[in-house]
A = this chain, B = another copy of it.
């Protein structure tokens, strides 16, 4: 098991409905040392890429993306949830459905902060059905930017988001891939990954 899988085993809680609660260290309370370690691991996995900017989506991706951006020495930009029906012409827009909240949001990135010269690392905390990542990829495409890779902290391997993104040809690195969870026993099965840090 790598450092993240170990932490999930220690502090993650499996709930009915395929919910994995990691809010004591990742997406409500944040363990900053872990964030730094995650940032360094993303840097290691995308070391050969010439990243110019890290992109994520609010809210829980922000902390992780910030520490990844620190490692690459580049700015971070986060897509903002927007309730406005009329979006001005100076933003890129994508529609994103949330698995957790079961609602749809428009997310926007100002055109000022993304362009054809950008080589992006897209970061998020969870990958389930892939909607958030597809939204961010479509925003990158609209800007003419290059998506160099996508880094996820926890992928739910039993949902199809990971397959969708990898089938599109992107380098997707998930620090932990959960293939199965049992709310009765609390057991979590991780997918074996060749590249994972021990």
* A positions within 8 Å CB-CB of B: 23-25, 28-32, 35-36, 58-59, 62-63, 66-67, 69-70, 73-78, 80-81, 83, 101, 103, 109-110, 112-113
Contacts and interface: CB of A to CB of B under 8 A. Distances in A.
B59 A80 contact: yes
A28 B66 contact: no
Nearest to A76: B30
Q: Decide if the interface of chain A is mainly helix, strand, loop or mixed.
A: mixed
Contacts of A59: 58-59, 62, 78, 80-81
Nearest to A68: B32
Contact of A69 (B30, B78, B81, B110): B30
B32 A66 contact: yes
